[in-house]
Amino acid sequence: MSTATDADRKAPEQPAGDGIEHEDTLVQLANGLSCEVPADSPLARLLRSQRTWAGPDARQRQRLLRNARSVAIVGASPNPARSSYFVGTYLLQSSDYRVYFVNPNAETILGQPAYASLADLPEVPDIVDVFRRGSDIPAVIDEVVAIGAPTIWVQLGIWNQDAAYYGEERGLTVVMDRCIKIEHARFHGGLHLLGFDTGVISARTTVR
């Protein structure tokens, strides 16, 4: 019986590569760390689909709202059935903000003049509240940066994680997928932490 020598022993064959160099992509993890994985891999697609961006915490959002003096609503609608109309109504009636409506297709909203763009506003707003599709957010960010506004607030139900990172890279404070009406009411005693009405009655005199 013959005995195999070292020369006879062959290393297990490795699967042949496809000869294509795969580009890596940097993905952000939920714990704040990042790693590079092949851009076209299932893991990269999974990580990109997960929400890893958080934005300002509750105390920071409260500070943003308390320090703000003016809010511009981009994508404001004159239609009472739209959420932007409801939010605009609340801000006009229940806050001290100077509220501006941005809609190139409207002349007035809630009795206030509607502006064609952020650049047409009479002042630079402290917060730009956005009611636009997620895919539109990067373009809105560019407009916000162009006028020098410090904060973009993207309304509840609207999410574009890449845009959130992009906004921060441009120097903006970014709030996303949160309702400015709910947050303002919660921080001013009108809502429970989870969004329920507390029944608190404001001492503010209603202007009639």
* Mean per-residue pLDDT, 9-34: 53
147: burial class by Cβ within 10 Å (0-12, 13-18, 19+)? middle
Assess whether pLDDT exceeds 80 at residue 45.
no
Kindly tell me the number of DSSP H helices and DSSP E strands found in the chain.
Answer: 6, 9
pLDDT for the residue 34: 59
User: 127-148, pLDDT tens digit by residue?
Assistant: 999 999 999 999 999 999 999 9
Cα separation of 147 and 173, whole Å? Answer: 14
- Residue 52: what pLDDT? 86
Q: Residue 194: its pLDDT value, please? A: 41
In the chain, what are the domains?
23-51 (no CATH), 58-187 (3.40.50.720)
> What average pLDDT score do residues 58-86 get?
97
Q: Which of 38-47, 51-60, 97-106 has the highest mean pLDDT?
A: 97-106
Across 88-93, average pLDDT: 97
CB atoms within 10 A of CB 192: 13
Exposure b/e, 85-97, CB count within 10 A at least 16 = b: bebbebbeebbeb
* Local confidence band at 190 (pLDDT 50, 70, 90 cut-offs): low
pLDDT > 90? residue 13: no
